[in-house]
């Protein structure tokens, strides 16, 4: 009688280390940065909906087109911090940034 083979399981961190590199490598840092931006867009979208606002209404509140709000919610990568702060102010949300300087590099974490 054959015995069942044991299935190897991996943690998410182990998979990220294997496929993206260890924390601190360029590829891994880029992935983590983009992930945070995706999450930021999702937070904006969720908060806007909780406040019962359309994209057009939020855009009007901060002086941008509906399409700009849509882009921010899908991908906050190409948005200025000033615009992000205006969005959260309009949504009546408190914003905290944690800024860390590592080896002369400026990183928002």
Domain boundaries, the chain: 12-108
Structure tokens at 44: 């904006």
Average pLDDT score over residue span 58-71: 94
56 by DSSP, 3-state: which?
A: helix
pLDDT of residue 108: 59
Pick the CATH number of 12-108 from 3.30.420.40, 1.10.260.40, 1.10.20.10, 1.10.530.10: 1.10.260.40
Compute the distance between CA of residue 55 and CA of residue 70 in angstroms, rounded to an integer: 7
Handedness of CA 6, 7, 8, 9 (dihedral sign): negative
Average pLDDT score over residue span 30-48: 85
Average pLDDT of the residues of the chain: 85
Higher-confidence position of 97 and 10: 10
pTM of the model: 0.66
pLDDT in tens, 71-105: 999 887 778 888 989 999 999 998 877 666 666 66
């Amino acid at each position: 009688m054959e015995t069942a083979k044991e299935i190897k399981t991996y943690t998410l961190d182990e998979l990220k280390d294997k496929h993206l590199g260890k924390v601190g490598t360029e590829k891994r840092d880029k992935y983590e940065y983009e992930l945070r931006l995706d999450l930021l867009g999702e937070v904006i979208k969720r908060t806007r909906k909780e406040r019962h606002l359309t994209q057009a209404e939020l855009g009007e509140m901060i002086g941008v087109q509906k399409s700009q709000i849509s882009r921010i919610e899908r991908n906050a990568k190409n948005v200025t911090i000033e615009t992000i702060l205006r969005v959260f102010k309009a949504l009546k949300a408190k914003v905290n940034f944690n800024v860390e300087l590592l080896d002369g590099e400026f990183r928002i974490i």
